[in-house]
Structure 1
Amino acid sequence: MQVQIASEPAPERPANEDAALHVGSLVGVFDGVTAPEGIDCGCIHSPAWYVQRLTRRLAEVAEECPNTELPDMLAQAIERVRGDHGNRCDLDNPATPAATVCLIRANAGQMDYLLLADCTLVVDQGGNAVTALTDERFATAVAGLRREALATHGIEQLAGRSVRGKYELTNQPHGYWIAAANPEAAHRAVTGTLDLLGPARIRRAALLTDGVSCIVEKYSLMEWWQLLDALTEKGPHELIRYLRQVETSDPVGAKHPRYKRHDDATAALCVFEEHS
């Protein structure tokens, strides 16, 4: 497996709230949840701190127990980060620092994957079989909140009401799950296994934070297969550079509506066999 990774903060942002790792056959990308204004998260640490600490702890677990199932591996990492807070933070606060997660691991002719919240995994199974996988629960929960806020409070209060309501659904059975302070979230992740052998085998896989998947999902500048080809031919750094050019040329979101002018962007490309 050949792996290329790029992770870059949004321009003018002091810290990258994304992260990535590659340890043995384990590859992952992580997207920290930006701290909302006016909401007490109960924690003295930043989203960037949480993402970097989670990545480090997960790498430790992967090196110590490389054959552990992905949900158990992530749960152990979350538990270790709980200890890193040092009893200085209210970890029961639903707005405590958190991160979306996408993990893959190649092992014995198979590729295991894990998804929490809105990271995306794009897989190429040959021919025209390119599929994007994500955890739909986050988008479903947020869409429901937006509809309710719009109907009740109007467009002027849409953003604020949606953000506050989101935390009532965080790591709840009726809401969505995300890596934060509760290890149980890892066992509620979307997981699966895909073949690395046979006619439907995985040729390539891309792990993306939403700061990169927006090229397809929000901006409609590419199809998923084109994004995979761009990553393969030019590399993750060049794809992010192209994304920045698109966003800079549309600073107010006239062509590509969005909540942020730029977001942190992380992409990992895993190639399991030569692509032509």
Structure 2
Amino acid sequence: MMDVRLSTQAAPDRITNEDGVLAIGALVAVFDGVTQPSTVDSGCSHGPAWYVRRLAARLALAYADAPEDPLPDLLAHAIGDVADEHRATCDLTRPATPASTVCMLREGRDHIDYLVLCDSTLVLDCGERTTAVTDNRIHQVIARTRPETVAGSEATVKPVTVAKWRHTNQRDGYWIAAANPQAAHHSVTGRAPLSGPDRVRRAALLTDGAAAAVDQFRLFDWAGLLDALASSGPAKLIGRIRSAEAAAVLDDARLRYKRYDDATAAICLFEDTDRRLLRPHVRRDITGP
């Protein structure tokens, strides 16, 4: 039986946590709401924190109704239900409509299923290796569109943000949970066994604020991050990230575009892992389903 430990924390410089986490039955998920520029009219009276809470709630209901359905179907159902909740009052066609990344894992009888939508990260301890699964299509879009310029009313927004919107939930761009249920069917999905030499022993679901422990601050490799989560728990991991964020100078490239970020981590343990196991780690940046 899967043992789940989780923590979600708002960035120290903001009141509202735009991340979220869900654990119900055999399903675990983490969510990272997209912060939009204050100068942008999203067309919606709700923000990313509201969207994340509603998406988690709707996903829980979809899972309760059909726990064996494919993960993309469950997520598509949830996205559609949230869209229906505010379609009459909000313009869901705006590019800045509330949105969220999603990372899901479901334990089955002899395997796990997983889904990653946009740039959250799933880390798997399988057999003799540790693998990180993410969907980096958004980063490819950003790299591809940096030279683009904007004009008019959108000029108050960073050009890369506006250029990114043009490729949101498009076949030549990237996919994210927002108002289009079809985005769920463009997720990165997979399955891993729970028995045999390549079985899953541990798995971590991370928003990018928690993955920063490896991606930005190099506090661990992915195997070391799993060890830290299993031994000390997600809250302690986030505490170490906060210390790294606070210690970095303002022009440190590791901070990307902001000093602090909301952070959410869940560790799923499938067997006794008290004895430290050292394995090579492999990062797998997935660019398409």
- TM-score, scaled to structure 1: 0.93
Task: Please state if 1:59 is matched with 2:60.
Answer: yes
The answer as to whether partners of 1:124 and 1:202 remain within 8 angstroms in 2 is yes
Counterpart CA distance in 2 for 1:212 and 1:80 is 28
* Residue 42 of structure 1, CA deviation: 1.1
Task: Please state if 1:130 is matched with 2:130.
Answer: yes
The answer as to whether partners of 2:217 and 2:244 remain within 8 angstroms in 1 is no
What amino acid is aligned across from residue 231 of structure 2 in structure 1?
Answer: E
Root mean square deviation, CA, Å? 1.9
* Residue 164 of structure 1, CA deviation: 0.5
Match of 1:113 in 2: 114
Alignment of 1:90-169 (within 5 A): 90-127=91-128, 129-146=129-146, 148-149=147-148, 160-169=158-167
The answer as to whether partners of 1:253 and 1:261 remain within 8 angstroms in 2 is no
Match of 1:77 in 2: 78
Unaligned ranges ≥5, structure 1: none
Match of 2:227, SS? helix
Match of 2:284 in 1: none
Counterpart CA distance in 1 for 2:214 and 2:232 is 17
* Residue 244 of structure 1, CA deviation: 0.6
Match of 2:286 in 1: none
Alignment of 1:200-211 (within 5 A): 200-211=198-209
What amino acid is aligned across from residue 10 of structure 1 in structure 2?
Answer: A
Counterpart CA distance in 2 for 1:77 and 1:210 is 22
Unaligned ranges ≥5, structure 2: 276-289
Cα distance per residue 1:89-118 (max 9 Å; x no partner): 111112110000000101121111111110
Task: Please state if 1:192 is matched with 2:193.
Answer: no
Match of 1:2 in 2: 3
* Residue 253 of structure 1, CA deviation: 4.5
Tell me how many residue pairs correspond in the alignment: 270
The answer as to whether partners of 1:252 and 1:261 remain within 8 angstroms in 2 is yes
Match of 2:177 in 1: 179
* Residue 40 of structure 1, CA deviation: 2.1
Runs of 4 or more, structure 1, over 6 Å off, are none
Counterpart CA distance in 1 for 2:209 and 2:15 is 16
Greater shift, 52-61 or 216-225, is seen at 216-225
- Percent sequence identity over matched residues? 49
